[in-house]
Amino acid sequence: MTRTIARPDELDLDSPGRRDYWVALEHDSTWGDHLMPLTVMVGPDVKPGEGLVAFGSNHGNEYEGPVAIKHLLGEIDIADVTGRLIFIPVLNPPAFHNGTRESGGQDGVNLNRAFVDGAGITPALAGITHRIAAFVRDCIWPRVHVVQDIHAGGYAHRFALCTSFHAIDDPQQSRTIEETARWYGTPFVMTYQDNTPGLLPSEAEGLGKITVGTELGWGETVNPAGVRYARHGIRAAAIRHRQLEGEVTPLGHHADGTQKLVAMVERACFVPAPFPGHYEPLMECGEYVDKGKTVGLLHDFYHIDDDAWPVKAGVEGYVLCQASRAPVPQGLHILVVAQEVR
């Protein structure tokens, strides 16, 4: 397979067929380019403004998305594509190749906070990360109506495997997103607060797109279950939204009816570390917990003789996320409990 190196304005994302690109985005400080892998597959029934995009490595140290999408590049036959599929296994090359959440070694910006006004346009927001956001806005958003953004816990957090989306005012859009999210087969489908500025999923949802995020692993590893869910969920979304021919059957917790819809919106769902210390979990992610139950202990080794601080659930629900490393800084959310919706 030959990949063509092309500037964004040289990409053909509309003509029938398959094309494999390295999208060239200039370095900020050296004479060279960041190369973003992008594959587009366009079928005979493509419609303007419609298609599916799957992103991996929005954060550079989350690997289930890149691996799952790389598998799909070899699995999907262009003859089965009816609409438009855009696969970007590594959306943030500087972060991915540096193994960091942010664009390490470059502008140090978190891409999933970079979708702000003026990104990639104003001089103060002209670094590579904001220019990636501008590329998505200019080249990808006009051509897709389904967005799959594959995340994991990276360095700091361990999750019960889940898909995710925000609470949305449009009931039809919300129902379609939830249905799409359930097809991944994960134990949990999670809705979360939408107060953080610059999120890729928030912008896509606001544009009316069927947008699903995920948390499919942790610890900067490749979680096999997470990869399996991602491969299945992206393919299911492509088929069910009429961009790909084929049959798909429910998987995992979607298939056996044990999948739970949960929400982590209330502030009480989150427990930040009141001091820097070492976190000891006493329960596993995914377990049910009553409000007030001690889920973990935070130890202060500068006050070795003091009792550990009990990390208690602020709400009744499921342990969706905990700190994945023992050393934690002050303020890190070391426990997140999600409340069951249904």
| CATH number for the segment(s) 4-264 | 3.40.630.10
* pTM assigned to the model: 0.96
Residue among 44, 254, 9 nearest 138 (CA): 9
- Locate the domains of the chain by residue range: 4-264, 267-340
The arrangement of secondary structure in 267-340, i.e. its CATH architecture, is Beta Barrel (2.40)
Count Cα atoms within 13 angstroms, Cβ side, for 218: 15
What are the per-10-residue average pLDDT scores of the chain (342 residues)? Answer: 93 98 92 96 98 98 98 98 98 97 93 96 93 98 98 96 95 97 98 92 97 97 98 98 97 97 96 98 98 98 97 98 98 98 84
Question: What is the DSSP code (8-state) at residue 108?
Answer: -
Question: What is the DSSP code (8-state) at residue 5?
Answer: E
Question: What is the DSSP code (8-state) at residue 257?
Answer: T
Q: What is the model's pLDDT at position 342?
A: 75
Q: What is the model's pLDDT at position 22?
A: 98
CB 8 within 8 A of CB 23: yes
- Say if residue 73 is exposed, middle or buried (CB neighbours under 10 Å; 0-12, 13-18, 19+): middle
Which residues, including other chains, have CB under 8 Å from residue 266's CB and lie 6 or more apart?
A: 315, 339
What is the DSSP code string of 29-65? SSSSEEEEEEEEEE-TT--TT--EEEE--SSTT--HH
Phi, psi (5° rounding) for residue 234? -65, -45
Read off the tokens for 297.
Answer: 């202990």
CB 37 within 8 A of CB 88: yes
Q: Beta 270-272 vs 288-289: how paired, if at all?
A: unpaired
CA 186, 191, 194, 195 dihedral sign is negative
Residue among 54, 64, 56 nearest 86 (CA): 54
Q: Beta 260-264 vs 188-192: how paired, if at all?
A: parallel
User: How far apart are alpha carbons 269 and 291 in whole angstroms?
Assistant: 10
Q: What is the model's pLDDT at position 30?
A: 85
